[in-house]
Amino acid sequence: MSITLTHTDIVHELHEKITLQTAQVGVVGLGYVGLPLLNAFINAGFNTIGFDVDPNKISQLQSGSSYIKHIPSEWISRWLRDERFSATSDMSRLREADVVIICVPTPLNESRDPDLSYIESTARSISEHLRPGQLVVLESTTYPGTTRDVLLPILSKSGLTLGKDYFVAYSPEREDPGNVDFSTTRIPKVVGGVDVASRDLAASLYGNVVVDTVPVSSCEVAEACKILENTYRSVNIAMVNELKVLFTKIGIDIWEVIDAAKTKPFGYQAFYPGPGLGGHC
């Protein structure tokens, strides 16, 4: 006899799976963000599925080989041996996951506008296979409003009801590849949901794997948080490089200036001259 779960039943069942680490976690996009995130969930006791459209990545992972320096092949071989991980390009397997985390790139196009095509194509794949009792989390760096205005309309085409059948949250990735002091699990996660249930489910999920979670009032706040973090860093890197050029022209050692300035115990964070802003996001 089939039983139709109520809204409360669906939330409770998913929350229980997350709490007990029996939820299957799917990660879409197996790059420098997605693969370390999978590692964190596996180490926390979750079973995982990794999705990527690149057949070369899938082939390497299925053979136990890594293409990311700080994720050793030995780890991947262990995941496979312990049956905690599988890699696939078959998006129909999205239906197997209780949680789907989107970690696809958002590069700038030729006109320097955000290219959301990877998010959109991933959302379409999820929508085609969405089922009741799933949590979808977007981690890709993007502008405020993307989750609500771009992701949700595509997911709604599934015919399921948001906040009743499925749940959606945003949690900006903060990965610093190869940083031994601040690896994935040592970086707090900001979490915003399209509703309270979505936020709380996502916060509970990440609470299993990271040092701290920071719930905020909305997806837009979480999205804006990442923009602020990146803008702060970008502006300060640009400023210190400009000051390096200026101070060199008037015979002042910028390094000595920075060393002096950083003795101030408040209101100042040291940035150093370098090749300029880098990294994906």
Residue 4: which residues within 8 A CB-CB, separation 6 or more? none
- Residue 281 designated active-site: yes
Pick the catalytic residue: 103, 219, 225, 281? 281
Q: What is the spatial distance between Cα 40 and Cα 62, in angstroms, rounded to a whole number?
A: 19
Q: What is the spatial distance between Cα 51 and Cα 29, in angstroms, rounded to a whole number?
A: 6
Residue 101: which residues within 8 A CB-CB, separation 6 or more? 25, 26, 27, 28, 34, 37, 136, 137, 139
Q: Give the count of beta carbons closer than 10 Å to the beta carbon of residue 178.
A: 12
Q: What is the spatial distance between Cα 261 and Cα 65, in angstroms, rounded to a whole number?
A: 46
Please count the CA atoms within 13 angstroms of the CA of 188 that sit on its side-chain side.
Answer: 10
Q: What is the spatial distance between Cα 92 and Cα 78, in angstroms, rounded to a whole number?
A: 25
Q: What is the spatial distance between Cα 281 and Cα 224, in angstroms, rounded to a whole number?
A: 14
**What type of residue is 201?**
L
Q: Give the count of beta carbons closer than 10 Å to the beta carbon of residue 156.
A: 14
Give the SS3 label for residue 138: strand
Q: Give the count of beta carbons closer than 10 Å to the beta carbon of residue 214.
A: 15
Hey, which residues are catalytic here? 281
